[in-house]
Each structure stands twice: as structure tokens, then as C-alpha cells.
Structure 1
């Protein structure tokens, strides 16, 4: 029997009466949530800093080996699991999607950070040595003043900007802010429209550029064709839906706007090498 992937709510894992945000030592968090090793999703933002330990964790079906000073970020809805080896030390931060809403004018402000883009390749990295002590000092100070909402919000935003200096801007080709903005806009449009728009030319029209320009931009900055980014997002959503056993293959094909089940199956197998049904049987057999 395959059990559907559950959604974990902030209140079920938090150690605080402040339901909006939680900052806690990793050891204490794991001790309270020792059974949280099965695949699950969150309805809140989540990030973890490992300062000690080993093992692995996966985000949206991509697996990463844990190492000291690795940090990972997750947006609501992503599927996640972990397997730890030995003692784990570090920090866990959870916060609701609306936590920064009252102090930020742009509702999509967080998606401007590379590690909150929803792309797994940007969500896991190792904190540079010169930032490690400062990051720990900030998180410990936030733990002490968790009841001061404004202090916590400002401190976390400072952490995000500090990490973006290392991780985000350094990965973008310097001197071409226009192309970077175009790429961010393209990724945002894919996230909003991937179920309905499957062709790069449709997105190029929304961005007021040519399909060739869009494709060259994606290859230059990401090493992928523009159409590949769309297909990858469709496939990711298909995988997420497949591990929710509520939906049949035909229903998933319909939800993703494929003309029929057969075409969806061929599309999925061409990219993943297995049929949707085979993928479903292979993943997350944790319920009996």
C-alpha cells in the first residue's frame, strides 16, 4: 500500500507559542520530532543549517549528502525527507508564508532570493567560512528574542541578504542585470503558467523578446534550453501528484493539460525513463 505524502503544519513541529516563526537547535528539534523521517511536505517556509553531522536529505526527489555548514531552504509544497547518521547539530528555522507580509510591500519579495526560487539546484549550498560565526550568532540571538516579532523578521531578512551575497549574485554573470531580471521573470512566469503554457514562444511573447533570445539567455545563465525549464517544471508537478495516491494517472494528465493519458505517459517516460505508474510504485512505500 502506498500512503499519500502528508502535509506537515507549523503548529505540529513548533516548540513555540508563536505560531508564525520557530528558531530552534537541530538536536532539540529532532528529539521532539524523532518520527519525522518519512516523506512529507510543509505548508511553511523551512531552512536548516547543519554545523555537525552526516547522512542525507532529499528535496523534490533530489538527494544531497549532508556536510558541516551546509544549509538548505524549502518553500511550501516541496516534498522532503531525511536520513541522518550519528549526532546532528545545527539550527532549524520555520516561518509562515505571511510572516513578512506586514513589513514588505512586495508580496513576492522572498522569491527574489535565489534560494527561495523553488529550484532545488539553488536551495542547497555550503556557507562560506567567513560567514559561519556571524550566522550562528544571529540565529542564537533570534532564539533569545523570539517573542520580539519585528526583531526576528529584520534579523532573518538580514540572514537572507547575507547568504544571497554569497550564493545568488556570485552565481550570476556579472555586469548583465537586465538578463538576470529577464531570467527571474521567466522562471516566475513558468511557475504561474506551466500547466497552461508549454511552449517557450508563449513565454517569450509575455517577456517581449524573441524565442531565440530567451533560449540563448537560459543556456548562458543556467546551461539549459528554455523549453527544458518548462518541461522540468511540468515533470516535477507530475511527480508530486503521483506520490499523492488520491489521483489517477488520467486525472493527473488532465490537471496538467495533456490531451490524453497516453500522451502524458509517453512524455513522462521520455524524460524519466519510467512510466508514471512505475514511478508511483517505486517511490515512498512507507505506509503499510
Structure 2
């Protein structure tokens, strides 16, 4: 593994004619960017739909099989790698965080789709047979729009992408769909967003409960009911995820990582990490190398 995990920006990819987006057949993309098979991060949104082939991929240290019909979604900042056993084909779209903001009145529209929430459990899923052909046809339309300049082509690409998101979202369970707009789901989503931006400074549920204008008991009950874990575990999980991401960078010492994560001393960080992961940071780093 390289000493430092690379981070790729959307400007790295210039195959598609419109700024802020890359659309490609996956086989071509995979062979052209072989360095992306190793662990890396994106500063953009990323989705892949596999139509053939096999292997594995790792997203934030979780392994998933590669198989026909599987589609996955990634948000900026996640760590990713592939390992294929056979030739793999499908479609890939990379798009910047701002790609939809000038098009949609609601800049947070993508948050309506649970698969763009890395903590939802919906980011990697196998499409039902009846949806696969429809989704593949939408990818083909997007590829065709990239072949020549035509009026409103950029807007049509955005519409086709939203169509893909909606088709995939409809394939999720009715229970998940019915929960999307509930008060508790909205509150949980707000809690997760607060964790994402404050997990280094704020480590206790009561601090987040105060920001959400609810009691700590309410927050804990909410997390236990919807996720089966207490609120504190979500905070600890996010700290551990960031620790793992930093541990990939072999140039950072354990003490430096501890300081970046605002631990009072690195010995406490080691104890915290071992309790949550079952291995010391150094052992995790050697296993992942």
C-alpha cells in the first residue's frame, strides 16, 4: 500500500463533455484507471451498476461481493477499492457535489435517497430482475447524450440520473419508503448530519440532544428503536471510521492520529480503538497493509 491514500477530484476525469460529471462503461473505466483498484477516496459522488463479472469491493473497510445486478452508491470522503476475479462490465457515474445544485431548487434533494446516506445500509444493493433492464436502459441514454452536443443535453442527463435514483429507490422495501418522511427518521437524519460535522469536538449524546432540542433519553430511545444501538455508539462508530481512514496513511504516527481526533493522549486513543475494534491501531494498520 502507498504511504498516503490518494484523494481524487472530479477534475481528474475528463472523458464526458460536461463539467462536473463522468459517465462511462465500467469495463473501459476499470482498464483505463487501474490505479483506482487500490484504496482511494473521492471528493465526489460515485455510483456503479454491474451487469457482469465477479469479485469483491471494499467500502469504508466493509467487503461486498461484485455480481450482476448489484448497484452501489458512495458519497464524498469514503475509502474504496476493487478486486475482480473475472472481466467486469457495467456503468459508472462520477459527479461533483455541485452538479445538481444549479438544477434543483432544493440543493438537499439527494438526501431524499437513503442510498446516498453511507450509514443507512442501502448504499449497496442488488436490483430486482424487473428493474435491471430499465436501469441499464437509462445508463445507455446517458452515454448517448455524451456523444454529441445537443440542446438541453446537460439537463437531460440530470433528469435521467434522477430517474435512475428514483427507480432504485422504488426497489427498496415499503417499510423503508414509509419511514422516509416520518418525524423520527427526520430527527435521526439530523443527528447523523450533526455527527458528521462535529464528531471530533462533540463525543457525548447529551451534546447532540441539546443541538436537536430534545432530551438525551429521547435521542437514545430514537436510536435504539430505529437502529438497535444507543446514540453514543453512532458517535463512537464515526470516530472509529475516521481513525481507520487515517491509519491507512502510513506517514501518520499513532500519536499524530490521536491528536487529529482530539484525544487527550495517544494511550487513551489506543485503548478506545482496541475496545471498539478488537485490535490495537498498530495491529489494524498491519492487517490492512
Q: Report the TM-score when normalising by structure 1.
A: 0.91
Task: Go from structure 1 to structure 2 and tell me whether the alpha carbon gap of 1:174 and 1:280 turns closer, same or farther (over 3 Å shift).
Answer: closer
Matched residue pairs, number?
284
Q: Report if aligned partners of 1:37, 1:81 keep a CA contact under 8 Å in 2.
A: yes
Q: Report if aligned partners of 1:243, 1:280 keep a CA contact under 8 Å in 2.
A: yes
Q: Report if aligned partners of 1:173, 1:221 keep a CA contact under 8 Å in 2.
A: no
Residue pairs, 1:253-264, within 5 angstroms: 253-264=258-269
Which residue of 2 is the match for residue 29 of structure 1? 29
Runs of 4+ in structure 1 deviating by more than 6 angstroms, as ranges, are none
- The equivalent position to 1:222 in structure 2, one of 219, 224, 227, is 227
Higher RCO (CA-CA < 8 Å; seq separation 6+): 1
Which residue of 2 is the match for residue 171 of structure 1? 176
Residue pairs, 1:223-242, within 5 angstroms: 223-242=228-247
Task: Go from structure 1 to structure 2 and tell me whether the alpha carbon gap of 1:120 and 1:78 turns closer, same or farther (over 3 Å shift).
Answer: farther
Measured against aligned partners, the alpha-carbon deviations of 1:209-230 in whole angstroms (never above 9, x if no partner) come to 2222211211221122111111
Q: Shift in Å at residue 10 of structure 1? A: 2.9
Any stretches of 5+ residues in structure 2 without a counterpart?
A: none
Task: Go from structure 1 to structure 2 and tell me whether the alpha carbon gap of 1:174 and 1:110 turns closer, same or farther (over 3 Å shift).
Answer: closer
Q: Tell me, in whole angstroms, the C-alpha distance in 1 between the residues paired with 2:243 and 2:215.
A: 29
2:180 maps to 1:183: no
Task: Go from structure 1 to structure 2 and tell me whether the alpha carbon gap of 1:37 and 1:120 turns closer, same or farther (over 3 Å shift).
Answer: farther
2:76 maps to 1:76: yes
Q: Shift in Å at residue 246 of structure 1? A: 3.4
Task: Go from structure 1 to structure 2 and tell me whether the alpha carbon gap of 1:21 and 1:227 turns closer, same or farther (over 3 Å shift).
Answer: same
Which residue of 2 is the match for residue 41 of structure 1? 41
Which residue of 2 is the match for residue 113 of structure 1? 113
2:254 maps to 1:249: yes
Q: Shift in Å at residue 176 of structure 1? A: 7.4
Q: Tell me, in whole angstroms, the C-alpha distance in 2 between the residues paired with 1:34 and 1:88.
A: 13
CA RMSD of superposed structures (Å): 2.1
Between 1:152-161 and 1:103-112, the stretch displaced more is 103-112
Q: Tell me, in whole angstroms, the C-alpha distance in 2 between the residues paired with 1:2 and 1:278.
A: 17
Q: Shift in Å at residue 173 of structure 1? A: 6.2
Which residue of 1 is the match for residue 101 of structure 2? 101
Between 1:26-35 and 1:218-227, the stretch displaced more is 26-35
Q: Report if aligned partners of 1:60, 1:120 keep a CA contact under 8 Å in 2.
A: no
Q: Tell me, in whole angstroms, the C-alpha distance in 2 between the residues paired with 1:170 and 1:32.
A: 41
Which residue of 1 is the match for residue 143 of structure 2? 143
Q: Shift in Å at residue 120 of structure 1? A: 7.0
Q: Shift in Å at residue 112 of structure 1? A: 3.4
Q: Tell me, in whole angstroms, the C-alpha distance in 1 between the residues paired with 2:123 and 2:98.
A: 20
Q: Tell me, in whole angstroms, the C-alpha distance in 2 between the residues paired with 1:41 and 1:168.
A: 30
Q: Shift in Å at residue 194 of structure 1? A: 0.6
Q: Report if aligned partners of 1:183, 1:217 keep a CA contact under 8 Å in 2.
A: yes
Q: Report if aligned partners of 1:8, 1:42 keep a CA contact under 8 Å in 2.
A: yes
Task: Go from structure 1 to structure 2 and tell me whether the alpha carbon gap of 1:112 and 1:188 turns closer, same or farther (over 3 Å shift).
Answer: farther
- The equivalent position to 2:218 in structure 1, one of 213, 218, 233, is 213
Q: Report if aligned partners of 2:180, 2:186 keep a CA contact under 8 Å in 1.
A: no
Instruction: Give the 3-state SS of the residue equivalent to 1:209 in structure 2.
Output: coil
Any stretches of 5+ residues in structure 1 without a counterpart?
A: none
Between 1:237-246 and 1:167-176, the stretch displaced more is 167-176
